[in-house]
Amino acid sequence: MTGPNPLQKYFRQPKIYIDLPSKGIYYEPGSTQGSSTNTPIFGMTGMDEIIMKTPDALFSGESTVKVVQSCCPHIVNAWKMPSIDVDCLLVAIRIASYGAKMDVSHRCPNCQSINDYTIDLSDVLAYLSGQTYDNAIVCGELRIIIRPLLYEEITKFNIENYKLQKMLAQLNRLESSGDDVGTLKAQTEIYQRIGDMQLELFEISIEHIETPDGNVYDKELISDWVRNSDKDYFSNIKTKLEQNKQQWDIPTQNVQCPECEHQSKVVVTMDQASFFGRN
């Protein structure tokens, strides 16, 4: 092919512009290009839509990475995007691809009737874009500075946790059938690994620790402290991480049942296979 493509004027154009919740702070060097404010978002291509409905790619995180990089050219390496940007970007891409209105079904907890509701994702996007990440935990003389996990880190831990939980379920079935040879030992090892994963998440989340004698950035020293500190420190870190996670969850939507007028809440989930389906 020589010369410009005469079809270029029909290529995708940005549909909306957003401010990333992270403000670009937590990205690794080279994983983004351009400004993290007023970031253009394109609608999905036909291939993007197929990828978002491919089970293996969804499970591995590859679908999210490819679609984010396709629809948000600002992000060069989506594996390195902080978790606080993920839902915001997916909501924005959904809006750019299909519009801001999304239909959801919900069973009324009072009369059990199933009703359809329309959710305005613009409100969800405004909420997520307006959040500010709280990165400090004060514990006595210590000030612990944390960061959101990268998408790559979250995906790795989610996959490993899924595999461990699946192994536990298999062991529980063996135990209930009376085959307990080695089952208790295997269960103990899995629970130990789950506990180790929790500690690893804490260690990865800590950027540095400020003390009266200076700041500590060395990851080995921080790891040693996490595994040998008083339980109160552990509890404070766990509480803050859980609070941040809840803050960045998509807010529930208030609905009223047309049959019995009972008011309840609808949870908007980020199950990509259904979230990116057309209404």
CA distance 279 to 56: 24
CA distance 185 to 60: 29
Q: Are 156 and 273 in contact (CB under 8 A)?
A: no
- Going through the chain in order, the beta strands assigned E by DSSP cover 16-18, 39-41, 101-107, 114-120, 136-139, 142-146, 206-211, 214-216, 253-256, 263-266
Say yes or no to pLDDT of 180 above 80: no
CA distance 201 to 203: 5
Say yes or no to pLDDT of 273 above 80: no
Say yes or no to pLDDT of 155 above 90: yes
Instruction: Give the pLDDT of residue 35.
Output: 83
DSSP H or E segment with residue 236: helix 231-247
Instruction: Give the pLDDT of residue 59.
Output: 84
CA distance 24 to 31: 10
The residue type found at 53 is K
User: Mean pLDDT across the stretch 175-203?
Assistant: 80
User: Mean pLDDT across the stretch 243-263?
Assistant: 91
169 vs 78, residue with greater confidence: 78
Highest mean pLDDT: which of 35-39, 57-61, 105-109, 208-212?
208-212
pLDDT range class, residue 78, cuts 50, 70, 90: very high
Lowest mean pLDDT segment, chosen from 129-133, 222-226, 251-255, 273-277: 273-277
Tokens coding 265:
């809440």
Say yes or no to pLDDT of 75 above 60: yes
User: Mean pLDDT across the stretch 214-233?
Assistant: 93
DSSP structural state of residue 37? S
Q: Are 98 and 71 in contact (CB under 8 A)?
A: no
Percent of all residues in the chain with a pLDDT value above 90, rounded to a whole number: 62
Side-chain half-sphere of 83: how many Cα atoms within 13 Å?
Answer: 21
The dihedrals phi and psi of 137, each to the nearest 5 degrees, come to: -125, 120
Say yes or no to pLDDT of 213 above 80: yes
Tokens coding 199:
């500690």
Whole-number Cα distances in Å, 135 to 60, 92, 261: 28, 25, 42
CA distance 168 to 186: 9
* pLDDT, averaged across the chain: 89
Domain limits of the chain? 10-132+251-275, 136-247
